[in-house]
Chain A
Amino acid sequence: MAKVTREMVERSGVNVDKLVELLVKNAAAELTTFYYYTILRVNLIGLQGEGLKEIAETARIEDRNHFEALVPRIYELGGSLPNSMKEFHDMSACPPANLPDSPNDVEGILKILVEAERCAVRGYTQICNMTAGKDHRTYDLALSILHEEIEHESWFSEFLGEGPSGHFLRRGETSPFVSKFLR
Chain B
Amino acid sequence: MKIFTKEELSYFNGENGKPSYIAFEGKVYDVTKSFLWMGGKHQALHRAGEDLTDALKDAPHGSEFIKRFPMVGVLKD
| Chains A and B form a bound pair | yes
- Interface residues of chain A, those whose CB is within 8 Å of chain B, are 18, 21-22, 25, 90-96, 121-123, 125-126, 129
A93 and B35 contacting across the interface, CB-CB below 8 Å: no
Which of A22, A90, A95, A96 lies in contact with B43, CB distance below 8 A? A22
Question: Which of chain B's residues 22-77 have a Cβ closer than 8 Å to chain A?
Answer: 35-36, 38, 43-45, 58-61
Which of B35, B58, B59, B60 lies in contact with A95, CB distance below 8 A? B35
* Interface class of chain B by DSSP: loop
A117 to B54, CA, bound (A): 26
The residues of B that contact A22 with a CB separation of less than 8 Å are 43-45
Give 10 new A-B contacts, CB below 8 A, not counting A95-B36, A129-B58: A18-B45, A25-B43, A90-B38, A93-B36, A94-B36, A96-B35, A122-B60, A123-B43, A125-B60, A126-B60
Q: A122-B61, A125-B60, A126-B60 are in contact. Are A18 and B44 (CB under 8 A)?
A: yes
Q: A122-B61, A123-B60, A125-B60 are in contact. Are A25 and B44 (CB under 8 A)?
A: yes
10 residue pairs bridging A and B, Cβ less than 8 Å apart: A18-B45, A21-B44, A22-B44, A25-B44, A91-B38, A95-B35, A96-B35, A121-B60, A129-B58, A129-B60
A126 to B43, CA, bound (A): 10
Closest Cβ–Cβ distance, residue A163 to chain B (whole Å)? 20
A121 to B58, CA, bound (A): 15
